[in-house]
Amino acid sequence: MSNLSLFSAYAASFEESLTDDDWTRLETYFADDANYCPGDGSTAEGRPAVLAALKDSVDQLERKTESRDILGTPDIAEEGDRITLNFQIRYTKTGLPDLILDGVETVDYANGVIQRMEDKFANTDSYLDWRSKL
């Protein structure tokens, strides 16, 4: 299975976890010593910490907003063991202007599992400020 196929399966499972809050289904996608940089300046190291960081990220944003809409079709590329996903997501919350999160997710694979995942945002300061008001 290609890394792009593996990533597509991970992304579908992530959306399921976003809906039902069962993050254990994502365990098989990550290496034991995986790390994740969620774009807020923190880093999670090790599979349990990565899963906790993913859940925390959702708890701090998606669970506190009224809507989350992926804008357009994300641009995804595979080069060697790296997947790069460019995306825009609109979040809404009554009393706040909409947040358009403009980001790049980089996912490095080793032996068929995610070794490193990093989110970077073009508007990190605006994102963190907006999130702090939720």
Which among 38, 41, 63 has a CA at the least distance from the CA of 53?
38
pLDDT tier at 7, thresholds 50, 70, 90: very high
Q: Could you tell me the pTM of the whole model?
A: 0.93
Would you call 44 helix, strand, or coil by DSSP? strand
pLDDT of 1 reads 85
Domain boundaries, the chain: 3-132
Q: Decide if 38 contacts 53 (C-beta within 8 A).
A: yes
| pLDDT tens for each residue of 91-108 | 999 999 999 999 999 999
| pLDDT tens for each residue of 14-50 | 999 999 999 999 999 999 999 999 999 999 999 999 9
| pLDDT tens for each residue of 39-91 | 999 999 999 999 999 999 999 999 999 999 999 999 999 999 999 999 999 99
| Fold adopted by 3-132 | Nuclear Transport Factor 2; Chain: A, (3.10.450)
pLDDT of 102 reads 97
